[in-house]
Structure 1
Amino acid sequence: MISTLLSRPQRGPDGAPVPRLLFGADYNPEQWSRKVWEEDVRLMRAAGVNVVSLAIFSWAHLQPGPDAWDFAWLDEVMDLLYENGVGVDLATATASPPPWLTTAHPEILPVTDRGETLSPGARQHWRPTSPVFREHALRLVREMATRYADHPALFAWHVNNELGCHNVYDYSDDAARAFRDWLRARYTTLDTLNHAWGTAFWSQRYGDWEQILPPRLAASHPNPTQQLDFKRFSSDSLKDYLRAERAVLREVTPDVPVTTNFMVMPGTKGMNYADWADEVDFVANDHYVVPGPQARDELSFSANLTSGIAGGRPWFLMEHSTSAVNWQPVNLAKRPGELARDSLTHVAHGADAVCFFQWRQSAAGAEKYHSAMVPHAGADSDLFRAVTALGDTLKTLAPVAGSEREPAGVGILFDWESWWASEQDSHPTSLLDYHREALDWYSALLSLGVRADVVTTGADLSRHRMLIAPVLHLVPAGLAKDLTRYAEQGGHLVTTYFSGVVDENDHVWLGGYPGALRDLLGIRVEEFGPLPAGQEVELDDASTGGLWTDHITVTAPSTEVLAHYRTGAYAGRPAVTRRPTGGGSATYVSTRLGADGLASLLPRLLEPAGVMSELPAEVRGSVETTVRRGPGGRFLFLVNRTDRAVTVPGVTGEVLVGGTDADGAVLLAPRGVTVLRTSTD
């Protein structure tokens, strides 16, 4: 487990490691004097910090010239941290190439689809497929691995940093060559590629591999399968780079775990993290709250999805913010209680480490207004006192470390390839938002007080009595069979508009929509009915739909119509259908109902699946519940989603964090979290 990775874990009387949650931040001592380093470790001890990520953006300090090295300062910092009980997640420092490298080798710089070369001066100014960059980066990785292989502070390697955050799509000549190699491996022959890409359209047939380019800026819409394959290739290129660094690290330090920080957030869809998960020894994630009406729900959704990517096992929250960030149009400070609630929500969904960007707020640079554990105001601040209080809370929650999330009755299927494919150009609407539709279902379940897991297509779907697959646009034949088997064996599948439409090559399943799922659902759609922005239709169950409608014909006698369109072009036709099959059912929702509309519909879908809220009716929607279970017991997390105090009656167990009222009911402070151990295993 993550909590036992530290070089000096706490041990009990029998000598066995004692579980603990990790707590810390990115640490950038090169920005500060040695006098500040001494204050840093003193404050780390006061706050309960036991881990830091180090050397993330240190390449220029570690290698000031092609053949010049300076590890003395990092040696000193590593020793200082070890002496003060702080373990190190040591970065390979390859995230931001130094000026000497980009000056000598400008050919490592990324190129946009317009042919513009991006200049250095920020970060991640390197091509994932550049052999020149890789040569220099791996040399640095080997130097660091060799030097710190036996350092007692080292507990994990941190490959690069936020791979693909700014350079996932590169259209350079290096990328073109690598793209062709990737395509050869995928398709073997040009005939197979031409069929997959449908190149008979617009006279695009290729007669030589060298004719193929990335989907650079073109006179009109590039080939859609070319675009989809380039997205796959770009994710795979970064994954291949991760493997290259990992290979060096495992060669030199075979016993030191290797990870990299994912970014499971709405705006970072270019990296297929479900596909990357097996490449790391433990999953790590960065998450930042984006203000808006679903901000709380989105934080929970992303933490939940990270757990799904990790297969339900504990994971590492590598970065989040203590308060405001620096990169949003308006950067709002967190209110009292939000720092702890945000952090503990991640723990509730499986995080065994809570870390921030960064330890000490920078005095200069692009992120100087990004909050930190030690703010510009210093240790004598409400923010640092909140940080220290969180450190104490995490110590109290030590028994939770190593436990896994207990499966919920409902699973929400999240699929990167459907995300990519459903939002490409030349579609029925450009307004479709895959992530938002998935989040709306999650928000609706939260409002009903129903626990749900966000899972990926590689998960064991049978663990959930109901499986919601919103906008599952890309459905290969194998996945269609799996979903059919799921429903026939007693599962209750729910899917939505624009699902089951294309196969893995982005070819339409012919014969009527929803294509691959048409027979399972017992319906047929002849034509899509997307709606202009702002236009809505009414359903006869009093809900309102937007974005999309479908011209549905029921094709199976057993298919029930749960709601009809009352207005719009398809007035009187089915809008929501359900077909019983085997011991389960398959439901289709043909319009975007939004979180409120889904909350009205879901009770009718949950009942036959035998799923209900575990919360008293009076607190549903106000409280989120999550359960972790492991050697230390079964742990119930109750998170107050509101700005008022909430009392939760009827809950029993040992209170680890939080409190109860005079009658023994759980009392949640505004924006507060209570954790109870409800049983011991």
Structure 2
Amino acid sequence: MVKKIKEEKLKLGVCYYPEHWPKELWEDDFRRMKELGITYVRMGEFAWTVFEPKEGTFSFELFDQAVDKAHEFGLEVIMGTPTATPPAWLTYKYPDTLNVDQDGISFQHGARRHYNYNSENYRRLSSIIVTEMAKHYRDHPGIVGWQIDNELNCEVDVFYSEADHIAFRKWVKEKYETLDNLNQAWGTVFWNQTYTSWEQVYLTRKTVSNSPNPHHMLDEKRFISDSAISYVKLQADILREYAPNKWVTTNGMFKHLDNHKMTNELLDFFAYDSYPNFGRVIEDNSKKPLRDRKWSWNLSVVRSISPNFAIFEQQSGPGGWVTRIEQPTPKPGQLRLWTYQSIAHGADLVMYFRWRTATKGTEIYWHGINDYHNLPNRRVEEVEQVSKEIHQISEKIAGSSYQAEVALITSYDNEWDGEFDKWVGPYISKSKDAWFKAFQYKHVPVDALYVNQETTLEELKNYKVLVYPHAAIVTKEQAELFTRYVEQGGKVIFGCRSGYKDETGQTYMKAFPGYLAELAGVTVEEFTRVAPFEKVPRLKFKDSNDIEAIDFNEVLQPHGDVEVLSTFTHAHFEGKPALVRRNVGSGSCYYFGGVFNLELASLLIDEVGLNNYQDQFELPEEIELSIRHKDGNDYTFLLNYSEQPQEILLKKEYRDALSGKRVTNKITLKPYDVLVLEP
């Protein structure tokens, strides 16, 4: 069953913290929200001490008044469970609830997310507060849904408390049943790491050269994910029991958490917190950096979890904590642009963070729509503009599906394994970025697709082309699935370092690329990384100039009916195959013995015949194209990420869905402007 938000119209919302503000401000705040066209208000996720000022004593007066007042103005409240920030009384009385780093040093009270998921005391106390809140608010007509916790695995995504070690020991015992199975899966015969009793098993700890067992590390990430999901289940089960008529979700997308599994098993839909301004300040010296446009990939990943999702925190102002200056003020038009970026990729609800900038605490510089003084500003004006505009497209877009012929594949196993394995992990990231840039600049909409042992042929058949740049961990069953996909007419593209590991992260005693060798029609004759001081090998593909074969090279040995599309030059393996294609059934498999860059990815997009909508538009690279489809109609979003005007050519007549005007031929988009077209 697909888990997605079910809104009949596009909606806007804001994050609001009534505990931060005098009650005298509430009525004016809620009134102005309603006048702006706001529907949803999110609150409560950091207020445990307000709800439970001391253990076993509960107080709902403040939030009762806030929820009632919001409801009075017709606003709908999303209530957060407050477990992301445990009370001081709790961590003081129960220090076992605190998280611990790998060195054994405990985190202390004073920030947020300093707890661990496996403390029996924390789980017990979390159950109590969630139960009391669910029972108290179960019938309140102003509360429509629940957010569990806040940004799971944000700030810290590894856990080493005593409770975690104990839970991990239980987890591996249930998974492997015997020590022999565990030792086999972790390859403990290497360096004499063999376990002879379960009591010897811990999460990874500091080792000489900081080189713990890599197979142990992979299972540790799986355990952390399962721990977080178990903690979400604890709360979700309570909310389902005591507040069965409200939807349940959580927000954020961070490492070491299988968000697909969590959503499929426990939530009604997934919500994301989108801060594209990070992309403008993170140093990126690569060719043609995407900057804030890179967040479109994050949104694509969110869409792979919930085809229609919610944004629970949409950046609305400059960002930073007192300890760091991170993000400049959005330029005129960018707040609107980023809102439509989210909507274009599948968001049917966008909530801005936050209504008003905090006057106290770590986030006094993480600015909201309103400044401290509540005087009119440009950010409020942009939200008002968006609010008026989306009324024109609201019912047409809500519930629509994103259109993509190609998927960029990844898996949690390969992501987690690649964090530690420097012979593949950095290449996964680099090739993913190159491919996404190529799709963006050639105006080819793309989906993210996470694969696992449950992935079906029907899921793969949704796409004309699949790109899996460095699929290190590939099982026999997965290789057979890709073969069936190609046989029925699909095209799949693999890169170097593919297919050579099993699900434990150990390598097969098979010629590379393992179980993919037959589909690809090649084995790897030899391989090498490109040393920093060496001349980078090159290759020629189609009519391009020589393309750099960066980072890592595999010399391919074709077998059977395989077409060599490119060979290496400027290397001791001069003239050896670098890129091949094998036709299988009605489809094709491409294998490249290297790391993808923007130039090669762009050429391969043309090679596999992806539709980049050139028959409908002529677009400069600065424009992103996204399409949402509903009731037989395509709604095309054209987003200008440039600070310069951009000229586009419409090759047929469309209706500007935001203004209602008919448009065709040449149109100029202003800096950071948005155009939504319908037939």
Q: Name the TM-score, length of structure 2 as normaliser.
A: 0.92
> What is aligned with 1:177?
166
Matches for 1:235-384 after TM superposition, within 5 Å: 235-263=225-253, 268-278=254-264, 279-289=266-276, 290-291=279-280, 292=284, 293-310=289-306, 312=307, 314-326=308-320, 330-376=326-372, 378-384=374-380
> Structure 1's 187 and 666: CA in aligned 2 closer, same or farther, altered over 3 A?
farther
Q: Deviations over 1:334-383 (max 9, x none)?
A: 11111111111111111001112211110111111112121235341111
> Structure 1's 633 and 78: CA in aligned 2 closer, same or farther, altered over 3 A?
farther
- 5+ residue gaps, structure 1, are 6-18
The separation in 2 between residues aligned to 1:502 and 1:3, in whole angstroms, is 37
Matching residue's letter, 1:31: H
1:28: how far off?
0.7
Q: Is the 8 A contact 1:480 1:517 kept in 2?
A: yes
The answer to whether structure 1 residue 507 and structure 2 residue 494 are counterparts is: no
> What is aligned with 2:105?
116
Matching residue's letter, 1:448: K
Matching residue's letter, 1:302: N
> What is aligned with 1:549?
553
- 5+ residue gaps, structure 2, are none
Moved more, 457-466 or 615-624: 615-624
1:68: how far off?
2.4
The answer to whether structure 1 residue 437 and structure 2 residue 431 are counterparts is: yes
Q: Is the 8 A contact 2:473 2:500 kept in 1?
A: yes
1:316: how far off?
0.5
Structure 1 counterpart of 2:61, from 72, 77, 80: 72
Q: Deviations over 1:457-485 (max 9, x none)?
A: 14701111110012112112221111111
> What is aligned with 1:13?
none
SS in 2 for 1:365: coil
Q: Deviations over 1:219-270 (max 9, x none)?
A: 241111110000000011001100110000011011211100032xxxx332
> What is aligned with 1:629?
629
Q: Deviations over 1:623-645 (max 9, x none)?
A: 32222223595422222243313
The separation in 2 between residues aligned to 1:478 and 1:4, in whole angstroms, is 35
Moved more, 203-212 or 290-299: 290-299
1:208: how far off?
1.5
The answer to whether structure 1 residue 671 and structure 2 residue 675 are counterparts is: no
Q: Is the 8 A contact 1:403 1:631 kept in 2?
A: no
1:77: how far off?
0.3
> What is aligned with 2:221?
231
SS in 2 for 1:443: helix
Q: Is the 8 A contact 1:24 1:52 kept in 2?
A: yes
Structure 2 counterpart of 1:91, from 80, 83, 86: 80
1:36: how far off?
1.6
> What is aligned with 1:206?
195
> What is aligned with 2:603?
600
Matching residue's letter, 2:148: V
1:658: how far off?
5.3
Q: Deviations over 1:542-596 (max 9, x none)?
A: 2112221112222x23212211111134332222211111111111122224223
> Structure 1's 337 and 658: CA in aligned 2 closer, same or farther, altered over 3 A?
farther
The separation in 2 between residues aligned to 1:485 and 1:360, in whole angstroms, is 54
Matching residue's letter, 1:394: I
1:416: how far off?
1.8
SS in 1 for 2:657: strand
The answer to whether structure 1 residue 516 and structure 2 residue 515 are counterparts is: yes
> What is aligned with 2:384?
388
The separation in 1 between residues aligned to 2:44 and 2:238, in whole angstroms, is 18
> What is aligned with 1:446?
440
> What is aligned with 1:475?
474
The separation in 2 between residues aligned to 1:141 and 1:397, in whole angstroms, is 38
> Structure 1's 566 and 479: CA in aligned 2 closer, same or farther, altered over 3 A?
same
> What is aligned with 1:397?
393
Q: Is the 8 A contact 1:562 1:576 kept in 2?
A: yes
The separation in 1 between residues aligned to 2:467 and 2:171, in whole angstroms, is 33
Q: Deviations over 1:172-211 (max 9, x none)?
A: 2111111111112221222211111111111112121111
1:39: how far off?
2.0
> What is aligned with 1:428?
423
> Structure 1's 275 and 434: CA in aligned 2 closer, same or farther, altered over 3 A?
farther
Matching residue's letter, 1:247: D
The separation in 2 between residues aligned to 1:582 and 1:528, in whole angstroms, is 30
Q: Is the 8 A contact 2:654 2:662 kept in 1?
A: no
> What is aligned with 1:8?
none
Q: Deviations over 1:488-526 (max 9, x none)?
A: 111100011212121111121222211121111111114
1:73: how far off?
0.7
> What is aligned with 1:12?
none
The separation in 1 between residues aligned to 2:440 and 2:648, in whole angstroms, is 17
> Structure 1's 400 and 276: CA in aligned 2 closer, same or farther, altered over 3 A?
farther
Pairwise CA RMSD of aligned residues?
2.2
> Structure 1's 262 and 479: CA in aligned 2 closer, same or farther, altered over 3 A?
farther
The answer to whether structure 1 residue 419 and structure 2 residue 415 are counterparts is: yes
Q: Is the 8 A contact 1:3 1:401 kept in 2?
A: no
The separation in 2 between residues aligned to 1:323 and 1:569, in whole angstroms, is 53
1:615: how far off?
5.5
> What is aligned with 2:593?
590
Identity among equivalent positions (%) equals: 29
Matching residue's letter, 2:443: G
1:145: how far off?
0.3
Matching residue's letter, 1:625: L
> What is aligned with 1:48?
37
1:619: how far off?
1.1
Matches for 1:181-192 after TM superposition, within 5 Å: 181-192=170-181
